Chain A
Amino acid sequence: MRRFFRRLNYLFRQRQREAELADEMEAHRAMKEADLRRAGVQPAEARWESRRALGNSALACEDARQVWLAPWLESVWQDASYACRMLRRSPTFAASMIIVTALGIGATLGVFSLIVGLVLKPLPVREPDRLVYLSRPSFSYPVFTELSTRGSHIFSSLIAWNIEREYVQWNTELEPTEVLMASGAFYSTLGVHASLGRTFTEADDVIGGASDGLVAVISHSAWQRRFGGDPGVIGRTIRIRRQPFTIVGVAPREFFGVAPGLAPELTIPLTVLERERLASRTSSWLHLLARLDEGLTIPEADAALQTVWRSVLEVTTNPGMPAERRAMYLSRTTSLQSARAGYSRVRNQFEEPLWVLLALVALLLIVATASAANLLLARGAARGREFAVRLAIGAGRRRLLRQVMTEAFVWTLLGALAGLIIATWTSGTLVNMMSTWDNPIVLNVVPDWRLVVSAVGLAMLTAVTCAILPALRTTHVEAGATLKEFGQIRGRLTTGWSSSKSLVTVQVGLTVLLLFGAALFGRSLHTILSQDAGFTPEGLTVVGLEAGEAGYEGARLTSFYETVLERLGSTPGVQSASLSKYPPISDEDGAWTQSIGVDGAAVQMDAARSVHFNAVTPGYFRTTGMRLLQGRDFSTQDRVGAERVVIVSESLARVFFPGENPLGRLISIGRSESRRDLVIVGIVGNSKYQRLTEPPRSIAYLPCAQVQDLIEGDELFVEVRSTSGATLTADTIRRQLRALDARVPIRIQTIAERMRASLVKERVITTIAMSLGVAALILACAGVYGLLAYIVSRQTDEIGLRLALGADRTQMLWLVMRQSLVLAGAGILIGLAASLALGQFARNLLFQVSGTDVFALGIAAVVMLVVALAAGFFPARRAANVDPLIALRAE
């Protein structure tokens, strides 16, 4: 409202305005005096008369000020400055309030800002609400081109993209870099313009490049980090897969692509690198994003898509596809989803845990609010006299209420500001925890104005919530009675319920709930980690090699890998080494699944009969520590031209050959001409293939030598087992490999690191849940202690009386401990009930642990009980040590 702004204006220039008013009134008086003199009145007379006519100018100034500063504004300002003064006078109280609020608000804001950045924030592009993505995650290139033409009445523009890790030669060394490959219309569809140079267009998206050759656009942060913001970066050449790319532009600062959580440093046109993949109709490797045509809503566009989708699929099926496979292909459905906030794997992975985390953190906020309320209550009781006096001299109850609320708001606001710091730290730590080497997460969590506004809003909410009860209680003081008897607030030691007690009980209950959550996730993680992985993780290191990058192929490739194995195998400290297509716990490195046929029967496309495959060298099982149960390992005899062999896992044997001996039997993969029959020559124990949390899988191992055509050109993994007792460092391995060929990119990880990285989601949520549990426990402990200490201090005279009348000290101890027990007991009951009710929501995130795990419930209850009793013990001891003489003397 305009009036409000005029008031603000006045507030800022208050002194000047008041001086002006005084001037004005003085001018008025002078004019009156002049008039009087002109009318013949004596000068002295005129002056007095004019002053009299003007009346009470001081009152006028006062009234004028009242017009501008609405009374409430002024008193709020008064209250606020009083609160600030109190900060200095009672620093411990202020510090407690601020810390408690900062903890609650900061943690909540931290998680919330992460959710905003990852899930909610719209992309920094033109009109993000008009963007949609196709929900089936990936499509082939032919589908993309077909849909571009057929869907032109739905989409004004369609783009395809994918982010892959490539080895890029920025300067001289090959570095793994996240590269975004996008079709030519990428930047124009999003409406993004380069901040330097130009972005690429459809003209550049042709095989071999256009007039500028192969072009690339780098991200703003890459420009700053790698080139120091040098404008001369335009025109520089970098190499990807040994092909030269010219940098033609730098993206704007806030643009990171379309996948929140990922920030590829380089963007190149789609068609320039992946020639084979472009033609393939079976390789689904592209994500599709589109801008809707004008006037279409998403449901309308979705309906329109469904009408053309079938024909798109029909046109893009592989002509040689068998009927069954074709039917399956044609039955793939897709739909349109809003891409306002982009599309990313990171979000899919972390969205659910983040919401759960937000719920947990909100609980912590409530606990913190309860603590704050208790602090205010205690404080309010101490100020009873002050309020009684003010009530007696005529302050309205509402005025006092407003004061308490304003003071509370000042403290919570300060707490919220401190909480912003905690929030930044929290979200930064969370992002770090969620990032792994394989999947670095880049998210900008610098607080922006939205965060500050939420902080202030939360502060207000917290202030109102925590202050309302104490405010009502405190100002409901019987002025007369209190003034007379202050200091002797009557109430018995074993008094019944009070609001303080309710608050502490609520705190205890919520803490139990958080502890339960922590125990649940902790147990789940422990269960995962204590599983038998099927191999021996200790002393095992995995080296990823991409010899293809350095130009090896065919026979040279094979001999290179053979040399690597020899070299590593003979390195001191190495017990054995082997090679495989997929390392143990492949996680993000993928999986190879195929259906098999048994004993010459045709291969059935059946999900239940789908088997995981891996290609390994002889010695793989020995190196990884897997158990060979029957038959034999691969040997050098198993090579091209010899009988095709396969080694299967225990569960494959059980599923496909129940009750029989599978040795010597056949399984087959591939259909028609590409079919291969394999003889089972060995059975190994079950082991985890991709993740520790997967169900038992049927796995079949093929010898590398016999399937080179299937695995050539991909990254291969070398497993290295160190001799027991020897510490094999990554550097040793790196040195050996560099000596062989320094151009080949390698990455080295111990199995333990791989396992940790594959469990990042679980670890993050467990760590957070435990931190929250501990934080809540501290708050609850302080709450119980504070309350009991307060009660005891108020009742020292009663205690003294009882002791003087012959009560036992132990009885006094018990009297207080009983309070503690009752508080804790009630709170624990509430907490257990809440845990039972809410535990089921975490089901999806738990591994082999039910949402109502009794063990976790027990732990939560016991820990809370012990802590509460310990907290109550000290006030109890003080009660027992009261000297009746001193206590009664004060009466």
Chain B
Amino acid sequence: MGLDWNAPVDPSFPSFADGETMALTNQPPDLLPGTLDMLILRALTRGAMHGYGIAERLRQVSEDVLQVGESSLYPALQRLLLNGWVKAAWGASENNRRARYYTLTAAGKKRLESERQEFQKLVVAIQRVLEGA
């Protein structure tokens, strides 16, 4: 559930729509930092992207479900840089703005694979518990 872009919103009041309670800022579903890293790496498999691009991509593909505060993207990107899973380079964006582009490295690809497998195992395990126990 995202904010309705087409209607102006008064910032001082919490808005209510369709009987759903919403706080001033949306509470996204809890996302572990490791998972966020994995998603960013996945997003980068399509090619180099800058931070905004990654955020938009994640939002689009997940159909607005995953909306991390866009600023939490940046600590995650720094973490990926520290571990050598992505590389960063300054370049020109679509509207000729200066933006920093992130590329997946070989180590990053490997990391993505292993994280994917781990996540898969986790999901399967949770499902089993929910259905079976």
- A interface list, Cβ under 8 A from B: 2-3, 6-7, 10, 20-21, 23-25, 27-28, 30-32, 34-36, 39-42, 45, 48, 52-57, 59-61, 63-64, 66-68
Contact = CB atoms under 8 A, between A and B. Distances in A.
Contacts of A24: 50-51, 74, 99-100
A105 B78 CA distance: 42
Interface string B102-120: 0000000000000000000
Contacts of A67: 75, 78-79, 82
Most chain A CB inside 10 Å of its own CB: which residue of B11, B82, B84: B82
A25 B6 contact: no
Interface string B24-47: 010000000000000000000000
Interface stretch (B14-22, B64-72, B124-132): B64-72
B5 interface: yes
A35 B5 CA distance: 11
Contact of B75 (A2, A20, A30, A60): A60
Contact of A54 (B70, B79, B93, B98): B70
A54 B69 contact: yes
Q: 10 closest Cβ contacts across the A-B interface?
A: A55-B69, A60-B71, A63-B75, A55-B71, A31-B52, A64-B78, A28-B52, A67-B78, A64-B75, A67-B79
B99 A27 contact: yes
B97 A31 contact: yes
B95 interface: yes
Given A31-B52, A55-B25, A61-B74, 9 more contacts: A3-B83, A27-B93, A31-B99, A48-B11, A54-B69, A63-B74, A63-B75, A67-B75, A67-B79
Given A28-B70, A42-B8, A56-B69, A6 B84 contact: yes
B106 to A, nearest CB: 14
Q: For chain A, what secondary structure do more than half of its interface residues adopt (helix, strand, loop), or is it mixed?
A: helix
Contacts of A48: 11
A53 to B, nearest CB: 6
A3 B82 contact: yes
A64 B74 contact: yes
Nearest to B80: A67
A2 B11 contact: no
A159 to B, nearest CB: 53
Contact of A60 (B72, B82, B98, B100): B72
B55 interface: yes
A890 B72 CA distance: 58
Contacts of B78: 21, 64, 67-68
Interface of B: 5-6, 8, 11, 25, 50-52, 55-56, 69-72, 74-75, 78-79, 81-84, 93, 95, 97-100
Nearest to A60: B71
A64 B79 CA distance: 8
Contacts of B100: 20, 24, 27
Most chain B CB inside 10 Å of its own CB: which residue of A34, A66, A67: A67
Most chain A CB inside 10 Å of its own CB: which residue of B11, B51, B71, B93: B71
Nearest to A2: B84
A30 B50 CA distance: 13
Contact of B71 (A20, A25, A40, A45): A25
A785 to B, nearest CB: 53
Contacts of B75: 60, 63-64, 66-67
A53 B70 contact: yes
Contacts of A21: 74, 78
A427 to B, nearest CB: 44
B71 A56 contact: yes
11 contacts: A20-B100, A24-B51, A24-B74, A24-B99, A25-B51, A27-B51, A27-B93, A28-B52, A31-B99, A40-B6, A56-B69
A57 B69 CA distance: 10
A2 to B, nearest CB: 6
B26 to A, nearest CB: 10
Contacts of B84: 2-3, 6
Contacts of A56: 69, 71
A30 B78 CA distance: 20
Nearest to A70: B82
Nearest to A40: B6
A23 B98 contact: yes
B86 to A, nearest CB: 12
A61 B74 CA distance: 8
A823 B81 CA distance: 59
Contact of B72 (A20, A35, A39, A55): A55
Contact of A27 (B6, B11, B52): B52
A48 B75 CA distance: 22
Contacts of B52: 27-28, 31-32
Contacts of B5: 36, 39, 41
Contacts of A34: 95
B72 A28 contact: no
Nearest to A25: B74
Given A25-B71, A60-B75, A31 B93 contact: yes
A59 B74 contact: no
Contacts of A53: 69-70
A47 to B, nearest CB: 12
